[in-house]
Amino acid sequence: MANVIDQDQQWLLNCLSATLDPNHEVRSFAEASLNQASLQPGFGSALSKVAANRELPLGLRQLAAVLLKQFVKKHWQEGEDSFEHPAVSSDEK
């Protein structure tokens, strides 16, 4: 069954791809965009969907998985040394 990619997921895929661009300005803008997006509800879920989508290129899936790991370290558990606000909501967990 084909995975349907909505507009938000397409934006995320475009940003992930742009982080691999050799042009420094493109890469920096994509990284800043992803950092901003990480503060929005649903970012972790969106990364997990990309990482699990076998129809996407392996490199993008691996990048999403690495970013998801970093996201969880930063936003999952209040009280941890590496915690940064905002915390992931109970619904998203």
Q: Is position 85 within any domain?
A: no
Q: How many distinct structural domains can be found in the chain?
A: 1
Tens-level pLDDT at each residue, the chain (93 residues): 456 667 888 999 999 999 999 999 999 999 999 999 988 888 999 999 999 999 999 999 999 999 999 988 876 766 666 656 665 556 665
Q: Is position 86 within any domain?
A: no
Q: Is position 11 within any domain?
A: yes
Residue 1: per-residue pLDDT = 41
Judge residue 16's burial from the number of C-beta atoms within 10 Å of its C-beta, 0-12 exposed, 13-18 middle, 19 or more buried.
Answer: buried
pTM for the structure as a whole: 0.79
Q: Is position 88 within any domain?
A: no
Residue 13: per-residue pLDDT = 96
Q: Is position 62 within any domain?
A: yes
- Given a contact cutoff of 8 angstroms between Cβ atoms, the answer to whether 9 and 47 are in contact is no
The residue range of the domain holding 12 is 7-75
Q: Is position 1 within any domain?
A: no
Nearest CA to 61 out of 76, 71, 72, 46 is that of 46
- The span from the CA of 19 to the CA of 22, in Å, is 8
